[in-house]
Amino acid sequence: MSVTRGTFATILLGVALHGCGSTAPTIDLTGMEPPVRQLIESRTAALNKAPAAETWGALGDALLAHGLETEAADCYARAVESASDPFEWLYLQALAISGGASGPDRAIDLFVRALDLRPDDGLAQLRLALSQQGSGRHEDAERSFERALKLDPGLQRARRGWGQELLALGRYEAAIEALDRAVALEPRDAAGWSALAQAFAASGRDDQALVAARRARTGRELPGFSDPIWLAHVLQNGVSASRRFERAQRALGAGDIVEARIQVEAILDQRAEDADAHYLMGSIESRSGNGAEAERRFERALELNPVHVRGLLAWAALAGNAGRLEEARVLIERAGAVTPRDPSIVLALAENLRRSGDLEGAVEAYERLVELEPESARIRMNLGLIYEQTGRLAAAIETYARAVDLDPASPAAGRLESLDR
């Protein structure tokens, strides 16, 4: 959905950066989404009327928000030339070029310049480390990740990166310590668990390596990390459908229902038949307490895309909460037919069967879930409870014991103590 050079627009820069004077580059807007075209037109007009660091930067923001990295970098370079405090423009210029043909090398130089201005900025230090990592400068990256952590110990991405670089440098025990803390901060981090598995294996801890490798397989690739500069300049300037989806999902995550609704309504104004937009609006209505309207939106999403798994699960949750358990189970099973090994779907089915009184079916579903999520103490705790309900005390004790092995703080410890009496 985002604007790219090859898909939506051919960028025609009238002259090279060093000779572009005070006028904006000429941009062919053919094929762009109307809101994107209007934004770039307005930013271009503002720049031509009053060339300044702010107007060059604002046009750069509009271009970078819609996939035009090279042209955005040129605009940011002009903003740097005339800004009294060019830190953010340098930072954004580096972001714009980091994925381009010149790779991370130019970005490294720009982040270094930015850090000369603000040496205590942990985020810029993290970005420098990532660029160094991307160019294979392991020793430089290791030092930069460590500096980023000293500036901001809560940067999970810096801690994982530090561990990865220690691993690359053969410092396995230090890597294990760093990566162990990284996955403690974010237990879903598949890349962190994968690196930890490699570090354990390299240090001869094969059993621990196997456990970490399993966690890597059940984890997920994290989307990134919080970056206030990118949020303010790039995401918040995005008016394409893809950027508005991102903005709506972020707003929902933050509990800002009003902002989420604004973004989804803007998408539907342009794309009335978009299944994802109807699903998001259903989520908004559900969070607002409008159950009937939420179901109507989920139903519309599924009319447009019958295998919309998130829509199926969301509608099932509403039906289940309203006591319509059989209807919910049908929706869950439809989702399971699309992605049968999705743990969230198997969990929804297990809980539906449990609530419906089908304990044998719930046991079967939970046993499948244990296979999919072998390191989850909570899942084993729930399975143990159902074993108890069905009189399988030996199986319950064994399951609770394994839950406690995985998490000593699990309430399964209390159940074990109760059964031992």
| 94: Cβ contacts below 8 Å, ≥ 6 apart | 106, 107, 110, 111, 114, 127, 131
**How many other CB atoms are found less than 10 A from the CB of residue 99?**
12
Smallest Cα–Cα separation from 35: which of 331, 254, 225, 265? 265
> SS3 for 42?
helix
The pair phi, psi for residue 27, each rounded to 5°, is -125, 130
One-letter amino acid for residue 165 of the chain: E
Smallest Cα–Cα separation from 325: which of 284, 294, 370, 362? 362
DSSP state of 235: G
The pair phi, psi for residue 214, each rounded to 5°, is -65, -40
Report the alpha-carbon angle 12-14-17, nearest 5. Answer: 105
The pair phi, psi for residue 11, each rounded to 5°, is -90, 125
pLDDT at residue 233, rounded to an integer = 97
**Which residues in the chain come in under a pLDDT of 70?**
1-22, 99-103, 421
Beta strands, E only, 239-389? none
**Residues 95, 81: Cα–Cα separation, whole Å:** 17
> How far is CA 132 from each of CA 15, 112, 154, 195, rounded to the nearest angstrom?
32, 11, 21, 18
**Residues 36, 41: Cα–Cα separation, whole Å:** 9
pLDDT, one tens digit per residue, over 68-119 is 998 999 999 999 999 999 999 999 999 999 865 566 789 999 999 999 999 9
DSSP state of 271: -
pLDDT at residue 414, rounded to an integer = 92
**How many other CB atoms are found less than 10 A from the CB of residue 205?**
16
* Buried-state track 377-393, b at ≥16 Cβ within 10 A, e below 16: bebbbbbbbbbbeeeee
CA torsion through residues 246, 252, 254, 257, sign: positive
Domains in the chain: boundaries: 154-218
pLDDT at residue 101, rounded to an integer = 55
**Residues 213, 219: Cα–Cα separation, whole Å:** 10
CATH placement of domain 154-218:
1.25.40.10
**Residues 322, 183: Cα–Cα separation, whole Å:** 37
Residue carrying structure tokens 């009937």: 292
Smallest Cα–Cα separation from 163: which of 129, 137, 199, 136? 199
pLDDT at residue 12, rounded to an integer = 35
DSSP state of 237: G
| 380: Cβ contacts below 8 Å, ≥ 6 apart | 370, 399, 400, 402, 403, 406, 412
In this prediction the pTM is 0.83
